[in-house]
Amino acid sequence: MKRTITTLTLAGLAATAAGAGIIWSGLINVGADDPHLDSVHALLSATRERSIAVRAADIPVPDLSAPELIRRGAGNYHSMCIGCHLAPGMAPTELSQNLYPAPPNLAQIGTNGNPSVAFWIVKHGIKATGMPAWGKSMGDEHIWGMVAFLQQLPSLDAAQYRALVAASDGHSHGGGEGDMHDHSRQHDHSGATPSPQPPAAPHHGDGHDHGHDQEVANAPAAPEKKVHVHADGKEHVHH
Ligand code: HEC
């Protein structure tokens, strides 16, 4: 008995030391452009599935067919989600393509057959994936609105999608709304912080000029011109 305990203890210590050695050596590549090993991926997927299934099991689903719920969900989805999850007729974005794990195309899968799971994921997010916990800034009724909208999404074409978004209240969930989809500001990094030296060349394309035709096609509306004043008092127009 005593010998068994000693053996198990030594084996445990050896495994811990090996694990620490692997971490210390830097062997594990955390780069998002280096996919997981199949075994690691299977382990993470199973953990994700079970974690969510257990937590979503008891969530009661309200009536998701209410047109008012769907209408409001459309505006919030359009404002906060399409950069990663796309919309009918929309081309892939840098976020939808470059995140790992890749955000699923919700225009195709909607709630993926399980509204309580979709609700739980939207509310709590998923650690280390890029999927935010929207419940931190949004009440349950607004999250259900997006879930109700997601149920309809796969059956909408681009024109129906646009009509529903146009009829919605836009980005509105009772407070905490950030400025998510102002492409002109998100993309023009040099314009975000006034620099002490005014740039010699006009800003056009500055910091973001690598062939982004699709963004123009994707942008919900033409970006407005933005004027700001640099530290030296010179005015500056962004297109
Ligand atoms: C910055 C990118 C990003 C944004 C913005 C984002 N998501 Fe996600 N979302 C993800 C990623 C990545 C996943 C996949 C996570 C995984 O594989 O475990 C995901 C997963 C999901 C899923 C689960 C899909 C499934 O069935 O597997 C739902 C539902 C979802 N997101 C809804 C939303 C909604 C609604 C919004 C807007 C309020 C939103 N997401 C905004 C990145 C994002």
pLDDT digits (tens, 9 = 90+) for 49-103: 999 999 999 999 999 999 999 999 999 999 999 999 999 999 999 999 999 999 9
Q: Are 117 and 56 a contacting pair, CB within 8 Å?
A: yes
Q: What is the pLDDT of residue 197?
A: 42
Environment class of residue 122 by beta-carbon count within 10 Å: exposed (0-12), middle (13-18) or buried (19+)? buried
Task: Confirm or reject: Cβ of 103 under 6 Å from ligand 1.
Answer: yes
Structure tokens at 94: 């840098």
On the question of pLDDT at 135 being above 80, the answer is yes
Contacts of 209 (CB under 8 A, 6+ apart): none
C-alpha 74/C-alpha 150 separation (Å) is 8
pLDDT at residue 121 in the model? 98
**CB 76, CB 171: distance < 8 Å:** yes
**pLDDT-based confidence at residue 230 (cuts at 50, 70, 90):** low
Residues 6+ apart with CB under 8 A from 172: 72, 75, 76
Nearest CA to ligand 1 atom 11: 103
Please give the average per-residue pLDDT across 145-162, as a whole number: 98
Q: pLDDT digit string (tens) for 172-212?
A: 888 777 665 544 444 544 444 433 443 444 444 444 555 55
Count CA atoms within 13 Å of residue 230 on its CB side: 13
Instruction: Find the mean pLDDT for residues 114-125.
Output: 98
For ligand 1, atom 33, the nearest C-alpha belongs to 122
Instruction: Report how far residue 204's alpha carbon sits from residue 53's, in angstroms, rounded to the nearest whole number.
Output: 48
Ligand 1 midpoint to CA 159 (Å): 23
Residue nearest to atom 43 of ligand 1 (CA): 131
Closest ligand 1 atom number to CA of residue 118: 29
pLDDT of amino acid 35 = 96
pLDDT value at residue 37: 95
218 pLDDT band, cuts 50/70/90, is low
Structure tokens at 172: 């509105």
CA of 197 to the centre of ligand 1 (A): 39
pLDDT score recorded for residue 2: 87
The set of residues, in sequence order, having a beta carbon less than 8 Å from that of 84 and lying 6+ positions away, is 93, 95, 96, 99, 103, 130, 131
Which position has the token pair 């407070």? 175
How far apart (Å, rounded) are the C-alpha atoms in residues 74 and 18?
A: 51
Nearest CA to ligand 1 atom 14: 103
The predicted pLDDT at position 196 comes to: 41
How far is residue 76's CA from residue 212's CA, in Å, rounded to a whole number? 25
Instruction: Give yes or no for a contact between 110 and 151, defined as CB atoms under 8 angstroms apart.
Output: yes
Q: What is the pLDDT of residue 1?
A: 75
CA of residue 9 to ligand 1 center, whole Å: 42
Length of the chain as a residue count: 239
Alpha carbon distance 107, 88 (integer Å): 6
pLDDT at residue 231 greater than cutoff 80: no
**Preceding amide of 220 cis, omega within 30:** no
Q: For all residues of the chain together, what is the average pLDDT?
A: 83
Protein residue with its CA nearest to atom 1 in ligand 1:
130
Q: Is the CB of 194 under 6 A from ligand 1?
A: no
Q: What is the mean pLDDT of residues 3-21?
A: 94
Count of C-beta atoms within a 10 Å radius of residue 182: 16
134 lines ligand 1 (CB under 6 A): yes
| Ligand 1 probe mutation, 52, 78, 96, 131, most atoms within 8 A of CB | 131
Q: Which amino acid is at 10?
A: L
CA of 192 to the centre of ligand 1 (A): 27
pLDDT-based confidence at 225, cuts 50/70/90? very low
pLDDT at 122: 98
